[in-house]
Each structure stands twice: as C-alpha cells, then as structure tokens.
Structure 1
C-alpha cells in the first residue's frame, strides 16, 4: 500500500514537471538560481586570512596553506586570483622573498603562477630540513601520556599533516 502511494505521488510529480529542469517548484513559479559572483580582494580579506612572515617555521606555514585554501573556498576566489591575493598576506622576510621573485620573473609571470606551484616554492624555502627531521622523529616516538588519548590523537594528526613526505 505504501509502495503504491509513493508510486502514485512520483507519477503525479512527473506529470506536473514540464519535462525539463526549469527550476520550477511545480506551481509554475520559477525558483531563482544563485549566481556566484567573482571574489574581490575585499571579499577575500573579509574571510580573515592568516598572515605569514617567513620566520614561523613549517608548522605555521602549513597552517597558512590550510587557511588560504579555506579562504579561497569561502570567498569563491577564482584560480587566477589565488596567488595574487595570497601573496598580499605575506609580511617581513616572506614579503621580501616574494618581491625579489616577482622582480626576477616579472610581476605578470609571478602572478600567473598556480597556487600549487607557490606552495612548492614556499615549502622549499621555508621548510628547513632539520626542522622536518625533528618533526619526523617526534612522529615516530609519539606516545600517549598517561590516559590522555585525545591530546595524543590531536598531536598525531598535526604531525601527520606536516609529515606528508612520510604519509602521502
């Protein structure tokens, strides 16, 4: 009986549907489609991206990457603007490094770079090899302190993100 009722409702819905995907609610009233507009720099900055100075180390650089990617998604930042907007959050030695790179390859080439390529360049520059070795050693020697499994799990996840070479 329930199957028959469901089948009848679906059949009735199919006959009132105009046979197309016209975004109507079945009442003849057209639903509005959301249009996604291109992100502006102001939209990007309203999402409060992190700033990176270049002195913080691998942990903060990884967090900066993660926050940038979150801000890109939230603000609907198009691929062409990602490097341009992200590099506006660089400060101190990181900004000096970026300005030197842009001067060498020209601004047009520097800002045409893909986000993944910027991440690789920054990883090469700011992931110091001895710092990564310390993080890897901590990962392999990580132990639960007493019964604090939550703290162990949180630290394990943080280290796993940093050791993507160990855990691709």
Structure 2
C-alpha cells in the first residue's frame, strides 16, 4: 500500500481543536479509512499523521522525537494515547461522563435527546467493551432522563433493548404532542360575535330594573345600551336612555303624536298643547291659602286661617 493510493479515498484532516469531541471524531474516522483500505498496521502512524495540519502537525513533530529517539516505528496505540493526552485529556473525559450522569431530556425532542445521549456514552467508562455488557444499564439510564409524560408510558414496559426503547419513546412523544394539541383547542375561549346584543327571549331584563318591550302601539322606543359601567351598578337607569327616537321626548306607553296635527297633551285636534283648555283652567285657578293648625294659644292669635275644634269648649 502506497501513501498516494491511500490519499485517493480523501481521509480526513486534523488541524487541532479545543473540542474533545472533534478530536475523537477524527481518530474514529481515520481508523475506519485505514481499515477500509487494508493498510498494514505498521503503516498506520505514517499514513494517519500525514493528515495532521497546522498546530496538530507541529505538536506531532515534537512528540515523535520523544517517542522515536532511535528511529524505530511507533505503534498506532502509542500515537493514539499521546493524541488523547493532548486533545482529549482525562479532565475532559470526566466532564463528559459527569454530563452523561446528569443528562435530562428537558425541552429536547426524543431525537435530540437520543443523539446527545449516545454521543456522551462514547466517553463513558461503563460503555466500553462489548455492548451486551452494558446494554441493560444503558436502557435504564436512558429511561431515567426522559420527561415524565413519556416515561410514564415506556417505564412499565421494562424494555431492555436500546433501539426498541428509543423507537417506543418516539411513538409516545407523538401521542403526547397530539393529545396536548387537542386539549389546547378545546380550551379556546368562546368569542361572542361583535355587533349583536344577546338577551333572553320574552321579558327583557336589565341590571338595575325592568325594560319594557317595544310594541306597535307604544311608541318608538330604543332599548338602552348596557355599557360596562352601567351593567355593574343597580338601580333605575337614566331617563334619556328611554326617550322616543322620533321626537326625542319621554312619554312611555303613549304613541308618538309628532306630525299628526293633534294636541300633545290630550291627543285631540283643533288646538295645541300650549292652548290646551284644561291647562288654562288649571293655571287660572286661584291658589287657596293654606290652613294653619296650632295647639298654642299664642300662635293662634291673629290667624285668619285658624281651624278651631268645635267639639270641645275652650277651657276657662
């Protein structure tokens, strides 16, 4: 195997990074490329380090002098160990493992939570080795991080196959989302159509009093509008709300006589309200003086309107 042949598959390059995940991703991708091209293990370090660039290349030049003082070949495991010391130290690995222990779904979707969970499992010491050795622990830890609304569905099933557990969690998430959407639509408040007033049929009731219904012979009355302030208080409503729409006057129970050529007072033709005969008679009457009642002798002296008790003789 020549280096030129290996480079035809375009293996990934690495320039150095402060993100431990990127460093681990490069190691994993490079090992897959070396295995796919069937590169002999004694050439792995030569071909792999050729893809180091920038800061990572300078780092390897200094490290190789220390690890290869006599020019002997460096095994891939030695390179891998030194690479992780530089770009994925134990402190970063411990932080990843602690993040896995504290991982919760929260506001993430099941797909997002699963992706984050599997990424952190790569760095966990528990998840190293054969998958069957930690399969049950992985399912239990995954369940513990799910939201309660999803956990309540999957936990009773006690699924211990990770792929089945993830698939069931996604199905339950869809069910929870649909149920929440339907519940939200049922809670939408009823909106009363604007421009129309609704009132009970038959008798018209109004806060603060009874409002008579309009009939054909009772004049042109408009029903008062109940405003927010008027509807909160009780008592008699203002008279101006019951004025006739035709003449603007207040004459409840009497047909409007505007434009009929009759007297507004009696409804008879031939005169008007200002010349109403009965009104002249009432205004022409002389007002009688009021009568004075007294029980005091002093107050009765000189009073012409004194009413005396004829049934009792004055005391002597």
Tell me the TM-score normalized by structure 2: 0.37
CA–CA distance in 2 between the matches of 1:127 and 1:66? Answer: 13
RCO greater where, 1 or 2, for CA within 8 Å and sep 6 or more? 1
CA–CA distance in 2 between the matches of 1:124 and 1:51? Answer: 19
Q: Which residue of 2 aligns with 1:167?
A: 127
Q: Which residue of 2 aligns with 1:138?
A: 99
Preserved CA contact (<8 Å) 1:82 1:115: yes
Q: Does 1:120 align with 2:89?
A: no
Residue number among 80, 101, 113 corresponding to 2:63 in the alignment? 101
More helix per residue:
1
Q: Which residue of 2 aligns with 1:8?
A: none
CA–CA distance in 2 between the matches of 1:41 and 1:51? Answer: 14
Query: In structure 2, the residue corresponding to 1:162 is in which secondary structure?
Result: coil
Query: In structure 1, the residue corresponding to 2:71 is in which secondary structure?
Result: helix
Q: Which residue of 2 aligns with 1:66?
A: 28
Deviates more, 1:138-147 or 1:76-85: 138-147
* Runs (4+) off by over 4 Å: none
Query: In structure 1, the residue corresponding to 2:104 is in which secondary structure?
Result: coil
- Deviation string 1:9-28 (CA, Å, 9 cap, x unpaired) is xxxxxxxxxxxxxxxxxxxx
Q: Does 1:80 align with 2:34?
A: no
Preserved CA contact (<8 Å) 1:52 1:90: yes
Q: CA deviation at 1:54?
A: 2.4
CA–CA distance in 2 between the matches of 1:147 and 1:65? Answer: 29
Q: CA deviation at 1:67?
A: 0.4
- Structure 2, unaligned runs of 5 or more: 129-316
CA–CA distance in 2 between the matches of 1:116 and 1:152? Answer: 33
CA–CA distance in 2 between the matches of 1:123 and 1:151? Answer: 27
The alignment's C-alpha RMSD in Å is 2.0
Query: In structure 2, the residue corresponding to 1:99 is in which secondary structure?
Result: helix
CA–CA distance in 1 between the matches of 2:76 and 2:114? Answer: 30
Q: Work out which of the two has the higher radius of gyration on C-alpha atoms and give 1 or 2.
A: 2
In the superposition, relative to structure 1, how do residues 89 and 147 fare at CA in structure 2: closer, same or farther (>3 Å)? closer
Q: Which residue of 2 aligns with 1:154?
A: 115
In the superposition, relative to structure 1, how do residues 147 and 135 fare at CA in structure 2: closer, same or farther (>3 Å)? closer
Q: Which residue of 1 aligns with 2:8?
A: 46
